[in-house]
Structure 1
Amino acid sequence: MPAAISMQDAVRGRWAVAAMFSINGFLTGSWAPQIPVFLTRLDISKVTLGLLILLFGLGALTFMPLSGYLMSRYGSRAVLRGFASVCVFGLLIVALATNVPTAAIAMFLFGGLIGGMDVAMNANAVSVERRLSRAVMSSSHGFWSLGGFAGGSIGGFAIQHYGHLTHAIIVTVVAILLLAIAARYLVTDPRPMAQEHHKFSLPKTPAIYLIGLMALITMIPEGAVLDWAALYLKQELGADLATAGLAYALFSGAMALMRFAGDGVRNRFGAVTTLRVSSLIASSGMFVAALSPWPWLVIAAFAVAGLGIANMVPIAFSAGGNQPGMASGTGMSVVTTMGYSGILLAPSLIGFAAEHVGFTAVFMVLSGFLAIVFLMSNLAHAADFAAQPAE
């Protein structure tokens, strides 16, 4: 009976953490349609907007290590609840900002809360995987994508008909309701190791930084397709705007579909094999996208790359959260911080490089990055975990 109850709790915890991913994605996706209104109501230039968005990223990178430190003391359940309880108000805080100084503070806090919650929910997903003795990380990221899709889809309509502030209030209420339902079912972690309680310090295990590097060079291509694929198709291949816009849409769609299928693939073949095959698929897709002279083949190649990239980051996160002798929150904070810094650094660096050598060369290099992950794939062995019963 206790074992059955424990498994039932783990299953509930699996759906609870999926809800947390959905909330985080929903809040992030709901921010995107607010951006044009944000620009006009504050009467700022695109340069200023870019700096404010950068503050969002800096907030995330600041709070991610803090989240890892807090989890080493209190566990992912308590930290996830704490960050989520404040994060649900993040978009509303931004929507209430009336000038650049308050907007700067609001953006930094919003990004920080999103980032801190992100680390904690990934760490909690690792705990669920241990309880269930099967992968759930990829589908958890799929729920993030669904939340983002929902937020982005309804945001424009709501803002146009009811205004940006009403939209932010609606988003906040929905997020609070989801949090109230899910928070009680989150699973608990093993008690954190005593030696990690005393002070904030970076892990001394080299493997965790190599896994973080693996996440970094995986997420750079993801950010590159998001920010530059449409421009590549339009400027260098002569595609029209409608066609160019399909590049990220199909890439993102393929990635979301594969993330929901990815746990089953990983459970059957193991994390290392799945990562090896995924990295080869992603590298090949990016390689074809770099060299093809035909826009539709490039779009299809980006979709193939999305199929490969889909499960690479979730596997890296699982490996980071399952490092032997290290609290899952500590490992997760390192890997997520390094990984997400790739998306933050990629846009400006890739734009600078493309200005000098063109997008073809850039995407060729990104294909090489993904091939490097293939060579590093043995580092993912920690993601092939054994069952860990509830205490």
Structure 2
Amino acid sequence: MTARTGVRPSAVEVTQWRNAVVVAYAASGIAFASWVARLPAIRDGLGLTPGNVGLLLLCLTLGSFLSVSASGLIVLRLGSRRTIRTGSIMVGIGLAVAGFGTSVLISPLVTGVGLAIIGLGTASWNTASNVEGAAVERAVGRHIMPRLHGSFSIGTVAGAGLGAWAAAVSIPVFWHLAAAGAVVAISVTTAAAWFRADLTPHGGERSYAPDTFGDPSTGPIPVIPPGGSAAGEAPLDNKRKIAQAWRDRRTVLLGVLVLGLALAEGAAGDWVALALADGYGQSDAAGAAGYGLFVAFMTIGRFAGTVVLDRYGRVPVMRGCAAMAVLGLALFVFAPAPWVAYAGLAVWGLGASLGFPVGMSAAADDPAKAAARVSVVSTIGYGAFLCGPPLLGLLAEHVGILHSLLAVMVMLVVSFLLSPVARKVT
């Protein structure tokens, strides 16, 4: 089924749209966690040092940097549906190539090429998902962005769980990642048939979905497609829209706020499994399970986020999240016993849970400028996933993996101080 072009969606169509976006977020989580959970096996299979792992992740960084730098223009040019479909196919191919390089060829170069392809597909895909998510949030008329990102976290829990199982039963990395890539590409390209952000008419009235995915917000909210403008407003050139968003002070500061909390999330994804294995003597399977614990509590935080945000507001919640992330990270690094480290992962996961979804919602406060601003905040936020892994890897060569994670606290303090920029703009 394909959504109707130029027609205001019905409640049923909005529900289908929302569910399709959930699939896109969850599949992204599965893709990410699948290769992260097997990072110890990739490291061992290729015989890499921590610094070499950081350099390998630099391939992902370079691919992601190229993609995220152009993501705003890509989404405005192609639309979020085509961007997400193309990105998911690239990620599926990249997973298979990375697994082939690890298990079959035993080639760091081929594995690096696979990670670069994953980066190229993921960055624009995720930016487009945030644009699509912001649009469906306006169509639903309820605060659902934390729960959409919670769907990503559910995907990471599933991916990490399958990764831990695959490691425990010694499934070759290639077969595991190739299967995960196929599932991701097929599910997302199918679900994209119900996306509507590119098709909804300018200034369309809100269509209501059943009250099952969030709490009500007040007032009608117009549905504006990516790159669209409010009724009666002449559309701007795409490059000009992006340039204006980059010059907006609040948008840039929102990006920096998201950057700190995203770094806390990304550092866990890239280094928790290795830190548990090297710092606390845990097995590869236990390391993957530790990452699963982190994303499980991050998922809890995201699904609870709607209620917490409605009760306390964005600013106090962002301050609390940054403080909890610092506490959890400290517990993990300085734990006197492995069980304390696992407890720290739970607190760390809760603290990192709401940075991205709140940043995306805040960037979309003005529907007419949502697409450009969401792409800018996404671009800055994804800088954590791009620059963090290789820099932490190089630092780990000198101070060890555990203590290298303390560098994340600096950006978390910055996020704490920038929390007021998340205040809702009307």
- Name the TM-score class by shorter chain: 0.7 to 0.9
Q: Name the residue aligned to 1:389.
A: none
* Structure 1, 18-27 or 251-260: larger mean CA deviation: 251-260
Match of 1:135, SS? coil
Alpha-carbon contact 1:322-1:331 (below 8 Å) kept: no
- Displacement of 1:214 after TM fit? 0.7
Q: Name the residue aligned to 2:118.
A: 110
- The count of residues paired between Structure 1 and Structure 2 equals 378
Q: Name the residue aligned to 2:184.
A: 175
Aligned ranges for residues 350-365 of structure 1 at < 5 Å?
350=392
Q: Does 1:277 align with 2:277?
A: no
After superposition, the C-alpha distances for 1:120-170 in whole angstroms (9 at most, x for unaligned) are 112211111111122222222222222233334334656867755444443
For 2:67, which of 42, 63, 84 is the aligned residue? Answer: 63
For 2:77, which of 65, 73, 79 is the aligned residue? Answer: 73
Q: 1:65 to 1:267 in 2, by over 3 A?
A: farther
Alpha-carbon contact 1:213-1:338 (below 8 Å) kept: yes
Q: 1:198 to 1:281 in 2, by over 3 A?
A: closer
Q: Does 1:315 align with 2:358?
A: yes
Cα distance in 2, alignment partners of residues 122 and 258 from structure 1: 19
Cα distance in 2, alignment partners of residues 355 and 370 from structure 1: 23
* Structure 1, 125-134 or 47-56: larger mean CA deviation: 47-56
Cα distance in 2, alignment partners of residues 174 and 354 from structure 1: 34
* Structure 1, 366-375 or 314-323: larger mean CA deviation: 366-375
Among all aligned residue pairs of Structure 1 and Structure 2, give the percentage whose two residues are the same amino acid.
28
One-letter code of the match for 1:303? A
Alpha-carbon contact 1:73-1:196 (below 8 Å) kept: no
- Displacement of 1:337 after TM fit? 2.6
Q: Name the residue aligned to 1:133.
A: 141
Alpha-carbon contact 2:54-2:393 (below 8 Å) kept: no
* Structure 1, 280-289 or 348-357: larger mean CA deviation: 348-357
Q: Name the residue aligned to 1:197.
A: 238
For 2:91, which of 81, 87, 90 is the aligned residue? Answer: 87
Q: Does 1:339 align with 2:347?
A: no
Alpha-carbon contact 2:157-2:296 (below 8 Å) kept: no
Q: Name the residue aligned to 2:29.
A: 25
For 1:121, which of 129, 153, 172 is the aligned residue? Answer: 129
Match of 1:241, SS? coil
Cα distance in 1, alignment partners of residues 38 and 63 from structure 2: 19
Q: 1:351 to 1:73 in 2, by over 3 A?
A: closer
Q: 1:184 to 1:270 in 2, by over 3 A?
A: farther
One-letter code of the match for 2:147? S
Cα distance in 2, alignment partners of residues 59 and 232 from structure 1: 25
Match of 2:247, SS? coil
- Displacement of 1:83 after TM fit? 2.4
- Displacement of 1:183 after TM fit? 1.3
Cα distance in 2, alignment partners of residues 31 and 130 from structure 1: 33
Provide the TM-score with structure 2 as the length reference.
0.72
Q: 1:325 to 1:94 in 2, by over 3 A?
A: same
Structure 1: segments with no counterpart, 5+ residues: 386-391
What is the root-mean-square deviation in Å for CA atoms of aligned residues?
A: 4.0
Q: 1:355 to 1:334 in 2, by over 3 A?
A: same
- Displacement of 1:117 after TM fit? 0.8
One-letter code of the match for 2:249? P
Alpha-carbon contact 2:319-2:419 (below 8 Å) kept: yes
Q: Per residue, is there more helix in 1 or in 2?
A: 1
Match of 2:369, SS? coil
Alpha-carbon contact 1:69-1:200 (below 8 Å) kept: no
One-letter code of the match for 1:282? A
Alpha-carbon contact 1:14-1:136 (below 8 Å) kept: no
Q: Does 1:241 align with 2:300?
A: no
Q: Does 1:143 align with 2:151?
A: yes
Cα distance in 2, alignment partners of residues 222 and 50 from structure 1: 17
One-letter code of the match for 1:336? S
Q: 1:50 to 1:277 in 2, by over 3 A?
A: closer
Q: Name the residue aligned to 1:209.
A: 252
Q: Name the residue aligned to 2:412.
A: 370
Q: 1:369 to 1:53 in 2, by over 3 A?
A: closer
Q: Name the residue aligned to 2:161.
A: 153
For 1:185, which of 194, 219, 232 is the aligned residue? Answer: 194
After superposition, the C-alpha distances for 1:97-123 in whole angstroms (9 at most, x for unaligned) are 555555444331221101211111122
